[in-house]
Amino acid sequence: MDVALVQYINRLCRHLAITPSRLHPHEVYLDPSDAADPRVACLLNVPVESLRLRFALLQSLNNSLESFFLPLVELRQTHTYQNSIAALLSEAKGLIFYDTKVTVMNRVLNATVQRTADHAAPEITLDPLEIVGGEIRSSENTYFCQAARQLSCVPSSQLCVKLASGGDPTYAFNIRFTGEEVHGTSGSFRHFLWQVCKELQSSALSLLLPCPSAAANRNKGKYILTPCPISYAEEQLLHFFGQLLGIAIRADVPLPLDLLGSFWKGLVGEPLDSEQDLQEADVLTYNYVKKFENVSVTDETELEALCAEISSQHHSGESPDSPSRPCCTFTYVTMTGEEVELCQGGRSLIVSWQNKDVYARAVRSLRLRELQNVECMTAVRAGLGSIIPLQLLTMLSPIEIELRTCGLPYINLEFLKAHTMYQVGLMETDQHIEFFWTALEMFTQEELCKFIKFACNQERIPFTCPCKDGGPDTAHVPPYPMKIAPPDGAAGQPDSRYIRVETCMFMVKLPQYTSLDVMLEKLRYAIHYREDPLSG
């Protein structure tokens, strides 16, 4: 119950944009709509007063952990000593609020800065012409590979910077685009991370593989690490991928990566669930395995039909006893399409009543090994560990490290509105400002993400900000706050002008359009037809 309550409080605090330490127990309530979330459905039958008292206890526990206990725990001993405080803390991480973990994590990240203000940031030069038109002719031309080559000779210590904050954040490296005149570093850095994520989740690079379950309309758009032996060059690219995850965490730039839960489990060192993770990754194989395990002992026809189905899907073969009947041998096709033997001499070993359970276990084991992908995950973790201390992952669940790295895949318009400034005499009550927010409220989530990409060069924005813990002078996390300003110059009719942005500053230069229809038209034109993502 406590773990479910912590998950519910995390969600409630995200909605209210406050930390659990500032939430009063009497603000804790459950709505019947919460029954849709299986993680908190068990709380619906608990009296609300009991929930509030339990929350008060968890709140006190987390305050003590954050202030006194967690800074003193040696988290590196978690996997070495099973009875250490760190190991016990890892088992109890479900009782710690997400904000508590992030606060401690941020303190450690700022305490492990290795590049000070006295040292100039490394600079890389990228050639946009290599990916012009969105068509990448070779993986060597991608921004990912261009950056990996140039940063391979830069010590990782030079990439360990303080957490990004304020209007002029420090990033791991600066980016210069050949032939481009870009003012400021934030917009180009955020555009680089967006482009790299786009490349990783495309055919331009082979580090990630589309989730096999997508063939059955499940987890479409999700990716896993490609499960195959890797060369030294591929190991270096995976190492750089891990570094980018750490760089994004320090920069507080949520990456638009859609990776399957098994990836995040491997990253934090959690074991895979042989049922759930297999079903999420490859539902067709999962169904085959379950059919083999549950096939009736007396139904020989059912086993033959199942073997025939697998033979037709993966390979062709005939039974030596009955040449006209397809047979299934101890082989299976990997996620990359290669047929492998499940045991020594598997191609000549036919699946029968006596060994069908052994075959099912072998297929399950093959898929789980592919999902664990130890060789590739080791390279990614090594890269991540060169930017942030890996022991911090001890406190985080797979969902939480994904949240910290990739944020939320949707835009909270109320949160964005609360983190917006109006400049040069503009006010929230101005008619064209009201048109602006009404237009955004009419947008789909896809259109909102495109607007954010247009305005600040990143598709996802942080869902939390330090300003919720302090007064108005507290530094915002970039790219917040969004700024709305008048357009440059005063020539021409407002309705004939276009929206411009300064992506480095997250500034929208908004003409005084005379109607909501004009505002909608100009906004949609801006997010759909802009040509240069660096100029707005």
Q: Would you name the residues annotated as active-site residues?
A: 504
- CA 120 remoteness from chain centre: 30
Task: Sort strands 208-210 and 174-177 into parallel, antiparallel or unpaired.
Answer: unpaired
- Other beta carbons less than 10 A from residue 123's beta carbon: 12
DSSP state of 272: P
Which ranges of 163-231 does DSSP label H, i.e. alpha helix? Answer: 186-200
The whole-angstrom separation of Cα 229 and Cα 251 is: 32
The whole-angstrom separation of Cα 503 and Cα 186 is: 8
Residues near 76 by Cβ (< 8 Å), separated by ≥ 6?
A: 86, 391
Give bridge partners of residue 507 from the DSSP assignment.
Answer: 483, 502
Residues near 428 by Cβ (< 8 Å), separated by ≥ 6?
A: 422, 434
The whole-angstrom separation of Cα 270 and Cα 258 is: 19
Edge-to-edge order in the sheet of strand 500-502: 420-422, 482-485, 507-509, 500-502
The whole-angstrom separation of Cα 454 and Cα 457 is: 6
User: What DSSP element (H or E) covers 339?
Assistant: strand 339-341
Q: Are 247 and 144 in contact (CB under 8 A)?
A: no
Which is nearest to 279 in space by CA: 288, 271, 270, 266?
288
Written as six digits, the tokens of 424 are 């040069």
For 92, what's the count of Cα atoms within 13 Å in the CB-facing half-sphere?
14
Q: Are 259 and 398 in contact (CB under 8 A)?
A: no
CA dist 382 → 242, 365, 368, 479 (Å): 7, 25, 22, 29
Residues near 434 by Cβ (< 8 Å), separated by ≥ 6?
A: 428
Give bridge partners of residue 329 from the DSSP assignment.
Answer: 350
